[in-house]
Amino acid sequence: QYFIGAFDGERFTNDNAADVVLMMDEGRDFYAVQSWSNTPGRQLALAWLNNWQYANHAPETGWRGTMSLPRELTLRATSRGVRLRQRFAREAAQALSAPSHISPRSLQTAGEHCIALPEGAAVYGQLTLVLKAGTRLALSLQQGYQQRLWLTAGESTTSLHYERQGSNGQATFDEHFACDHAAGSVDGLTVTVTWWCDHGTLEMLVDGATEQRSITQVSFVDHRRQPVTLEVVSGRVEVAEGGIQSAVE
């Protein structure tokens, strides 16, 4: 949780009402955020990419989570007031290959459509979608049916929620890992999803006209065998532009 306001050296004044809860991340696995000092002109932070509700019961040997990619933080004016804005630190791009562009297309046929077939163990992608009001779709970023991001277009906003499946036979893990959660909304019907899919992790930044939502999740899918897919449930969506890059190991 974060707060926007003014500090006079003694007292902090919140710009928002007490019942307005602002979250840096809407996912299940973005914990204990730490920031850097001595980064002139930049505010950088990262988090532990895990969750204590199941961290000790993860179905992995010798692995109990990782850190998120560093994020560069700024403030931006939105229709709901000043809000935190994130982007993946530019240093991460130094490890990327040349981009493979995603061809624009209009999708109005109900069903699942393959958007891209990325290669590599760590993948960076960006996809801009233009939705018609009433459209509902599910986006899988190399997660199969284990994790999907749902977008539902209203008249002037796009609502988000995500689902994650998974179990390993341990009651504590099975109770908390699988989830189906609302992740707020962004303004407008043009949505850009920027993501990193890496070993055991999926980090997403979802941008509307001025608003943004961050969703960070642990993933145990072998994403190297999975495509990027878009399932249209109702309505019509245009893939305006996009690109995929793999990290050079």
pLDDT tens digits for range 140-181: 999 999 999 999 999 999 999 999 998 888 888 889 999 999
Q: Could you tell me if 224 and 143 are in contact, meaning their C-beta atoms sit under 8 angstroms apart?
A: no
- The confidence score (pLDDT) of residue 172 equals 82
- The confidence score (pLDDT) of residue 72 equals 98
Alpha-carbon distance of 92 to 69, in angstroms, equals: 8
Q: Could you tell me if 118 and 228 are in contact, meaning their C-beta atoms sit under 8 angstroms apart?
A: yes
Residue-averaged pLDDT of the chain: 94
Q: Could you tell me if 129 and 194 are in contact, meaning their C-beta atoms sit under 8 angstroms apart?
A: no
Alpha-carbon distance of 236 to 203, in angstroms, equals: 26
Quick one: 177 exposed, middle or buried, by C-beta within 10 A (0-12, 13-18, 19+)? Answer: buried
Domain-wise residue ranges, the chain: 5-246
Nearest of 189, 185, 148 to residue 166 by alpha carbon: 148
Q: Express each pLDDT in 182-207 by its tens digit.
A: 999 999 999 999 999 998 899 999 99
How large a percentage of the chain has pLDDT more than 90? 80
Local structure of 20: helix, strand or coil: coil
Task: List C-alpha distances in Å: 171 to 166, 174, 175, 178, 179.
Answer: 12, 5, 6, 12, 14
CATH (residue range 5-246)? 2.60.120.560
Residue 127: how many other CB atoms lie within 10 Å: 22
Residue 185 carries which DSSP code?
Answer: E
Q: Express each pLDDT in 50-85 by its tens digit.
A: 999 988 888 777 667 799 999 999 999 998 999 999
Q: Which residue has the tokens 């493979």?
A: 100
List phi, psi (to 5°) of 194. Answer: -115, 135
**What angle (nearest 5°) sits at the alpha carbon of residue 145, between those of residues 139 and 151?**
25
pTM: 0.95
Amino acid at site 111: G
The answer on pLDDT for 245 being more than 90 is: yes
- The confidence score (pLDDT) of residue 170 equals 82
